[in-house]
Structure formats: structure tokens, C-alpha cells
């Protein structure tokens, strides 16, 4: 009887949460398709797979998967470089297979070996690229679906500097501005607290559709032309609907560009997923810990299926996952239900979706991009010291130089991978320059009949030591007394500090571990709560 009541209670919370996630996901699926230069149907397919398939297979109760903005720049460049969407789908299939193999090889902890400075640099670059690619769509000068910013830039005589203004579609631009204003207002605490289950992006899209329809009904000179609207095929029968799915070109398995793209998608999608899963676990009120190897398997199966039927690459997405948590989701049912709603939506109301202005989706993506690259990110990175900001800025500079400005044209479209490699190289160089030593010394001792475990950190502790320190702290038995001693430490990487804080504030209390800290410098913002005089 208790189980039935528990299930009924979960359904009562998960169904409304699934509806909220659906309302968040629908405009994002369409917007990410636009940013990726892919058919709108592809984004919806990935949303459906992310909800239903990965929702069933994933070990996370609250994570929601779907097409990710973080992969949009890579997908856009890859489709352009490969030159055939069906060949690109083969790259998505390859990425899925690689993720399955990564799961079998138990590489779920791979994110621990990437410094957060490089990952943040990659995400910041993606944000800048998204903004740059959406400006033409926002202005109504999107004759090229890839949204090249250079189309708006004057070349030649100085008198041509205002020429781009002649290309602006005022109706399209007005809708973009209105959508941005609505989302900014909706994000204010006064509004957000009262309508927390209604996403601002959805409100912006609905208002944009209403404005567009009014302009059309009044035959306004500012009416939105058909080529500035979403264009999804509408099926008249079940057989016609299934004909909309696109099969991959398996010749891609013999194409070097396709294989490299598949590897890039696998690496970046896996990193995004693992980082999102870690964030979701920290937000989870019940503090569930997700099996990352199982998550990679679920993502691999989902991406393999997406590649087989015409979808975009899929990751676990923090925006949808946090919406699920805040809406009261308790189990995987909410993610699965949102996937079914997307499926019903694409079958029953494609003509309504085709009334959405592209500039409204561009507005969503402009704000999404801004959140990835806002000034506070740069301030935080600079404040964390040179070991953080050098790899960060190297990553950002290389990615933008290649993918936005076309430097080294031969590798254009592979800027993300090359930028990440450059950032990692800079991080390794900084560590070697800092004379990397052993990360810590582990010691057990007895004091007044109690066993005390001492983890004494070395002089230099880098992000490379994060995995071993995490493993040590995770295996400390319950009801223990642990001292983390940083008395002799000159440098502790930001990632390791975050790991220690997480252990102190979350993991240690859950396992009834008495955790005391000693010798941490003031600049680390870690309170030393160990009494030296009584410790030894």
C-alpha cells in the first residue's frame, strides 16, 4: 500500500513537472536547430529521444537530455564542412558508438581530467559563437541559414559603413527585441516568483506569434515573410510522417572528416553530460549520486539512435534538468513524459509551430549565448589566478580565431577541438612551470583511542590530482575523523578546492564523517576549523 501511495505521489508531481520541462524544451529544440543550421525536425527528434529513450535508460532521476546549445557551433561548422546532412548523421552515430565504448571502458570519470578553466573557456567561446551566428537572424538578414556575421560587415569604402542598416527587416528586428525584453522581465524576481512554472522563453515565443499574426492580418508593411518563420513539414498520414526521418549515409565510416567530427562530438557531448550530471546531483534534494558510466551508456544509445533517424547530438542539459527539479520532479517519469509531449506536438500541431518567427528563436539563443559568456565569467576566472585564466584565455582565443575569424582556414570548423587541446597544453605548461609534485600524503594514526585519518596536501596540487584526491575522499569510511592538512601547500588548484569544499559541506555530513581543515591560506576562502594544539 505504501508503494502504491508513493508511486501515486510521484505521478502527481512528475506529470506537472514534465509539462513544465516540455514548455522549456520546445522552443529550445527549435532554437538549437536554427543555431545548428539543421532541419527543425532534427531538434524535435533529439528532444523526443532525450526524453523517452535516455529518460528510460539513464540512472539519473532528475536529469533531462536533449539537443544542447553547447554543441550548436560545432554542429553548424561540421554540417558546412562535411557538406551533406546525411554524412553528418553518420558522425552522430559514430559519437554514440564511442560513448557506448567509453561506458564499457568505465570512463565515466573522464571529466575529472579536464580542468574547469578549459571547459569554461570552451563554453564561453560557444556562447560568443552563438551570439555571432544569431545576429543575422535577429536582424532579418539571414539569406544564408548558417548566419554568417560577415554578411553584415562593410568592406571597402568608409561610406559603406552604414550599408548593413539597409538589410535590416524592421518587423523581424522588432519581434527579436520584444522577445528579449519579455525574457529579461520574466527573469525578474517579482515576475519569476509568481509565474515560476511558465518559462519566459515560451511567453516570448507566444507573444511573437501573436504580433506576427497581427502584422499579417493588418497587411502591415512590417509583416514577417514566410522565409523568416519556422518551417516544419506537416504529415497527412502516418507513412508520410515516417518519411520525414533522415537515414545516415554509411559511407561516412570511410570519410576522415566524418570520423573526426564523430570523435569531437563524443568528447564534447560526454563532457557536457558529465558536468551537467554533477550539477544535477548537487541540486537534487535527495542527494542521489548518478552512475556516470551508466549515463554514458544511455547517452551513447540515444545519440546512436539520433544518428540513425535524423536527430542532432544529445547531451544532458542543465537548463531543462534544473527546470525539472524546480517544478517538483521526483523521478524519471517527468523526463519521459516531456518526451511524449514533444512527440504529440510534432504530430498534431506542426502548422502552429510554423507560425513562430525565427527572430524569436534567435532572441532565445542570444540570451543563452550571453549566459555562457557574460562578464562575470571572465571576472571569476581572472580572480582565480593565472593557473585558471591562462588556459581559459588560450582556449577562447584559439576557438574564436579559427571558427569566427577564419584564421587557419584549413581547419575551420574544428576550432572547438583545437581550442580545447591548446587550453590543455597551456594548463600542462603552467603546471610544469609550477614544479608539480606529489599531491598528498595519506596517514592513519590513533589519538585517545580514536583513529584519525590525515590527508596532508603537497606543495603543489593541480587539477591532475583531482581524480586521485576525489577517490581517496570518497572511500573514507563512515563515522571517521579526517584531517585535511594544507600547512605546507603553496598552490591548490581551484578544482581541488571545490572538491574539498564539496566533501566538507555535502559528502562528509552524509557519511557522519568529522572533517577538519588545517593550514589553508586566507585567499582560498576555506575556513580552517582545526585546533592545532589539540590535534597532535
pLDDT in tens, the chain (536 residues): 444 444 445 788 889 889 989 988 999 999 999 889 899 999 999 999 999 999 999 989 999 999 988 788 889 889 988 989 999 999 999 999 999 999 999 988 887 888 888 888 988 988 888 888 888 888 887 655 554 554 444 444 444 444 545 678 889 999 999 999 999 999 888 887 787 778 888 899 999 999 999 999 999 998 998 888 898 888 777 788 888 899 999 999 999 999 999 999 999 999 889 988 988 888 788 878 889 999 999 999 999 999 999 999 999 988 889 888 888 888 899 999 999 999 999 999 899 999 999 999 999 989 988 988 899 999 999 988 888 899 999 999 998 888 777 665 555 556 777 888 899 898 888 776 655 445 666 667 655 556 788 888 888 887 778 888 888 888 888 888 899 988 888 888 888 899 999 898 888 888 888 888 988 888 888 877 644 333 43
State how far the Cα of 389 lies from the Cα of 411, in Å rounded to an integer: 25
Q: What is the per-residue pLDDT for 165? A: 57
Residue 237 pLDDT: 78
DSSP H helical segments within 145-246, as ranges? 170-186, 189-192, 200-217, 238-242
CA atoms within 13 A on the CB side of 72: 38
CB atoms within 10 A of CB 461: 25
The DSSP line for 48-92 is HHHHHHHHHH-S-SS--EEE-GGGHHHHHHHHHHH--HHHHHHHH
Q: How far apart are CA 382 and CA 387, in angstroms?
A: 9
Q: Are 334 and 187 in contact (CB under 8 A)?
A: no
For the 440-535 domain, the top CATH level (class) is alpha beta
- Report in angstroms the alpha-carbon separations of 430 from 321, 391, 463: 35, 8, 11
Longest Cα separation, the chain: 87
Residue 335: per-residue pLDDT: 94
What integer pLDDT is reported at residue 438 of this predicted model?
57
What residue ranges of the chain are covered by domains with CATH 3.30.750.24?
440-535
**What pLDDT is attached to residue 401?**
86
pLDDT at 442: 65
- pTM for the model: 0.76
| Cβ–Cβ under 8 Å, residues 138 and 359 | yes
Query: Which pLDDT score is estimated for 532?
Result: 37
Instruction: State the pLDDT at residue 142.
Output: 63
Amino acid at each position: 500500500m505504501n508503494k502504491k501511495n508513493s508511486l501515486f505521489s510521484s505521478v502527481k508531481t512528475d506529470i506537472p513537472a514534465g509539462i513544465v520541462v516540455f514548455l522549456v524544451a520546445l522552443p529550445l529544440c527549435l532554437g538549437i536547430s536554427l543555431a545548428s543550421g539543421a532541419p527543425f525536425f532534427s531538434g524535435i527528434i533529439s528532444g523526443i529521444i532525450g526524453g523517452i529513450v535516455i529518460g528510460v535508460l539513464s540512472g539519473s532521476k532528475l536529469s533531462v537530455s536533449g539537443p544542447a546549445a553547447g554543441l550548436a557551433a560545432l554542429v553548424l561548422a561540421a554540417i558546412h564542412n562535411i557538406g551533406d546532412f546525411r554524412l553528418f548523421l553518420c558522425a552522430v552515430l559514430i559519437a554514440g558508438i564511442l560513448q557506448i565504448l567509453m561506458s564499457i571502458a568505465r570512463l565515466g570519470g573522464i571529466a575529472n581530467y579536464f580542468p574547469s578553466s578549459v571547459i569554461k573557456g570552451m563554453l564561453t567561446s560557444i556562447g560568443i559563437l552563438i551570439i555571432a551566428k544569431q545576429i543575422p537572424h535577429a536582424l532579418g538578414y539571414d539569406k544564408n541559414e548558417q548566419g554568417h556575421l560577415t554578411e553584415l560587415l562593410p568592406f571597402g569604402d568608409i561610406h559603406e559603413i552604414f550599408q548593413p542598416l539597409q538589410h535590416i527587416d524592421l518587423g523581424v528586428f522588432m519581434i527579436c527585441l520584444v522577445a528579449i525584453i519579455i525574457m529579461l522581465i520574466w527573469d525578474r524576481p517579482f515576475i519569476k516568483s509568481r509565474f515560476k512554472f511558465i518559462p519566459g522563453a515560451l511567453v516570448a515565443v507566444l507573444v511573437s506569434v501573436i504580433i506576427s499574426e497581427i502584422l499579417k492580418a493588418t497587411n502591415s508593411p512590417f509583416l514577417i515573410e514566410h522565409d523568416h518563420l519556422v518551417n516544419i513539414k506537416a504529415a497527412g498520414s502516418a507513412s508520410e510522417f515516417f518519411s520525414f526521418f533522415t537515414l545516415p549515409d554509411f559511407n561516412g565510416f570511410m570519410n576522415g572528416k566524418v570520423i573526426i567530427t564523430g570523435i569531437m562530438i563524443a568528447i564534447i557531448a560526454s563532457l557536457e553530460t558529465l558536468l551537467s550530471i554533477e550539477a544535477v546531483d548537487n541540486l537534487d534534494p535527495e542527494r542521489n549520486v548518478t552512475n556516470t558510466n551508466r549515463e554514458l551508456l544511455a547517452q551513447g544509445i540515444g545519440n546512436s539512435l539520433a544518428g540513425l533517424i535524423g536527430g542532432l547530438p544529445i547531451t544532458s542539459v542543465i537548463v531543462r534538468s534544473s527546470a525539472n527539479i524546480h517544478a517538483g520532479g521526483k523521478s524519471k517519469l517527468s523526463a519521459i513524459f516531456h518526451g511524449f509531449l514533444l512527440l504529440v506536438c510534432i504530430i498534431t500541431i506542426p502548422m502552429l509551430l510554423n507560425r513562430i518567427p525565427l527572430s524569436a528563436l534567435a532572441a532565445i539563443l542570444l540570451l543563452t549565448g550571453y549566459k555562457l559568456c557574460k562578464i562575470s565569467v571572465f571576472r571569476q576566472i581572472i580572480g582565480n589566478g593565472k593557473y585558471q585564466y591562462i588556459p581559459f584565455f588560450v582556449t577562447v582565443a584559439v576557438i574564436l580565431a579559427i571558427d569566427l575569424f577564419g584564421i587557419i582556414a584549413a581547419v575551420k570548423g574544428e576550432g572547438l577541438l583545437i581550442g580545447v587541446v591548446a587550453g590543455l597544453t597551456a594548463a600542462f605548461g603552467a603546471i610544469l612551470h609550477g614544479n608539480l609534485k606529489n599531491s598528498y600524503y595519506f596517514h592513519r594514526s590513533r589519538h585517545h583511542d580514536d583513529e584519525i585519518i590525515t590527508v596532508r596536501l603537497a606543495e603543489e596540487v593541480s587539477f591532475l590530482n583531482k581524480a586521485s584526491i576525489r577517490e581517496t575522499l570518497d572511500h573514507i569510511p563512515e563515522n571517521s575523523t579526517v584531517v585535511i592538512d594544507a600547512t605546507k601547500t603553496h598552490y591548490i588548484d581551484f578544482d581541488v578546492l571545490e572538491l574539498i569544499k564539496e566533501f566538507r559541506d555535502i559528502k562528509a555530513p552524509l557519511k557522519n564523517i568529522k572533517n577538519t581543515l588545517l593550514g589553508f591560506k586566507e585567499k582560498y576562502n576555506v575556513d580552517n576549523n582545526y585546533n592545532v594544539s589539540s590535534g597532535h
